[in-house]
Amino acid sequence: MTRQNRIPVNLRDESEETSAEEASSELAGPSPVLIPLWDMANHINGQITTGYNEELQRVESQTLKAFAKGEQIFIHYGNRTNADFLVHNGFVFPDNSNTEVTIQLALNSGEDLFDQRKELLEKLNVPIAGEFTVNRGPDCISKELLGFARVFNMTKDQLTHWISQEPELTKTLLSPECGGLDESLREKVWKFLSIRLQLTMRMSGSTLEQDEALLANQGQKGTPKLGHIKSMLVQYRIVEKRILTDVVEYCKQKELGKN
């Protein structure tokens, strides 16, 4: 279970009589504790509103909005991705504002400019290989992915220029509005990202439209029944592909200089 809260634990034997002051002074460090009632509340975007009141020695929670009698009460489980929810909670949240999609990228160690690219990425604290993320919202490209893409597409002269800069200026390569970028590099970067994200979408073997139809047609005659687990996995793919589709469009607009 991950719907737990970290609260102080009293190490004194429960059979011993203690004052509130004594009990409070003997609290150990916070420990994750299951709150069964919270299994009755589903997740919604927001902020965590459950915490431990040390003065009253109890867990307290506030709702994110006013609820009428008979309405379902929602709480915010935490800023978790759909991968976290799927693995640890057993569900996918379609409107998750904190979810992200990872893509694998790496420098080519066999190319002539590998050492220079590696040196510049190290200055940016960006790995030369690994998982990079895109997500929802205006800052849909992570700064690490943006920095990697820029270094990956630089010419020898561009690498030499940026390696020689002061650290403060070099760090601007991680910023969406990086000044001093050649126009040709800017276009190459957005085209590169667009292509890589489209390749990531194709790796699943199905299109967004096919996955949406697969879920929409459940229960209809002649449609293979997916079952609960497979339905969640398809829903997970749909959320990822919707994010990727939006980010690809964002990259295309950036390439054209419209954004």
Six token digits for residue 151: 């270094």
Pairing between strand 58-61 and 50-53?
A: antiparallel
Q: What is the pLDDT of residue 24?
A: 52
What is the pLDDT at residue 21? 55
Query: Phi first, then psi: what are they for 154, rounded to 5°?
Result: -75, 150
* pLDDT for residue 22: 53
Q: Which helix (H) or strand (E) holds 190?
A: helix 183-202
Cα distance between residue 152 and residue 147, in whole Å: 9
Query: What is the full per-residue pLDDT of the chain (259 aa) written as tens digits?
Result: 445 667 776 655 555 555 555 555 555 577 777 777 777 888 888 888 888 888 888 888 888 888 899 998 888 888 899 999 999 888 999 999 999 999 999 999 999 999 999 999 999 999 999 999 999 988 899 999 999 999 999 999 999 999 999 999 999 999 988 888 999 999 999 999 999 999 999 998 999 999 999 998 888 887 778 889 999 999 999 999 999 999 999 999 998 887 6
Domain ranges of the chain: 4-78, 100-255
pLDDT of the residue at 200: 94
Q: How far apart are CA 43 and CA 93, in angstroms?
A: 8
DSSP-derived letter for residue 89 is I
**Is the dihedral angle over the CA atoms 183, 189, 195, 201 positive or is it negative?**
negative
CATH 3.20.20.70 applies to domain 100-255? no
Q: What are phi and psi of 113, to 5 degrees?
A: -95, 15
pTM of the model: 0.82
